Structure 1
Amino acid sequence: MFPSKTAASLSALILLLSLTACTGSGADVAPAATGASAGLGAEADAMLAGYDITAPATVTDLIEQLQAQPLAERPKGLMASVRVDELLLSSGGSELSLPLPDDLFHLSVAPYLSTTHECFYHSLTTCVGELGSEDLHVTITDDATTDVLLDRDISTYENGFFDVWLPAGLDITVLIDDGEHTVELPLGTRADDPTCVTSALLT
């Protein structure tokens, strides 16, 4: 388990977003910009400006900004793929890698009742899940220590996803409850784990 001081800081790192499933938000607490220096650089600024997007100070802020966009306002032609250690931006024939904090893992989850799609790396600009703007209660537990990393009500974004920033390198259990249905998922925050989970069938 993390020492009490570290545990307190971890609670400040957890970021909740909402609905996005990969074919598809709400942010509470932004993670510390560890490993993500202020300013995205001239190349990223120029790429985003081409879609009338004002670049924020950090990559973590950009993820939140793109995830929270209404579906009707998504930038057509811009791809933003969340990998374990980087955010990949691509437009036309250009691709740009922006490093993510190496001690954190960005996880996007799209619960569903009837329809879903396959997804491994979450796309902030194209993924769409079934249950947008849905109120949920989410509990996330560290399997090794049984410490509760998150236990609170959240709402998915319009794209059907909720997002969390978690400590990297863990095996976790995610419990989702919509008031009538539940699902429990064994997941991970390691280098070979997906950043996009669309297998959360509420029953």
Structure 2
Amino acid sequence: MIVAGCSSQAPDADSQLLTTHNLVGMEATEIIDHLDRLDVEDRPADLMASVHFDELQLSAGIEQLNFDLPDDRFYLSFAPYVNQTHECYYHSLTTCLGELRNENLQVSVTNEAGNVVVDEEVTTFDNGFVGLWLPRDLTGTLRVSAADGTGQVSVSTRADDPTCLTTMQLT
């Protein structure tokens, strides 16, 4: 297995994995945003991409690449649901599927002090998820309103916290 450690900037075009998946020259944050937003039918079946607290892990065949994520940001991908969900901890950019695909949501995140960190209208990606870049070391509440209902869950963006949130049921 070929393993390469990388900074947030992608390695050069010598990586077959990056070349094959049109990711050459992208930083880790750009790769995450790109892969999470792909239509489900366009997702590469041979690529595994997993978001952890401090790194993005990519693998295909025998090649594996690890990209450092920014020190001050945390990628939280969440999929609210009405009827069905799945367990997840580290968000897979190529295999995770949520129930509510291409749905409009009102999303807010507040910290423990009640200060608003995020307040915006978003549309879930084709995979049923929304990705938020949040400050690290945040503890707060994620609230979602949609046509199917509302929900809220506690969130935290520390080293041992999940990057994939699939526990918010809309009622």
TM-score, normalised by the number of residues in structure 1: 0.77
Give the structure 2 partner of residue 146 of structure 1: 114
Give the structure 2 partner of residue 132 of structure 1: 101
Aligned counterparts, 1:38-117, within 5 A: 39-42=9-12, 45-51=15-21, 53-117=22-86
The 3 A distance-change label for structure 1 pair 190 and 38 is: closer
Aligned counterparts of 1:173 and 1:125: Cα–Cα separation in 2 = 27
The 3 A distance-change label for structure 1 pair 140 and 197 is: same
Whose helix proportion is higher, 1 or 2?
1
Give the structure 1 partner of residue 3 of structure 2: none
Runs of 4+ residues deviating >3 angstroms: 36-39
Query: Number of aligned pairs?
Result: 166
Task: Work out which structure has the larger RCO, using CA pairs closer than 8 Å and 6 or more positions apart in sequence.
Answer: 1
| C-alpha contact (below 8 Å) 1:55/1:62 kept by paired residues | no
Identity %: 42
How far apart are residue 170 of structure 1 and its match?
A: 1.2
Whose strand proportion is higher, 1 or 2?
2
Give the structure 2 partner of residue 12 of structure 1: none
Gaps of 5+ in 1: 1-35
How far apart are residue 94 of structure 1 and its match?
A: 2.4
Aligned counterparts of 2:50 and 2:137: Cα–Cα separation in 1 = 20
- Superposed CA RMSD in Å reads 1.7
How far apart are residue 80 of structure 1 and its match?
A: 0.5
The 3 A distance-change label for structure 1 pair 46 and 138 is: same
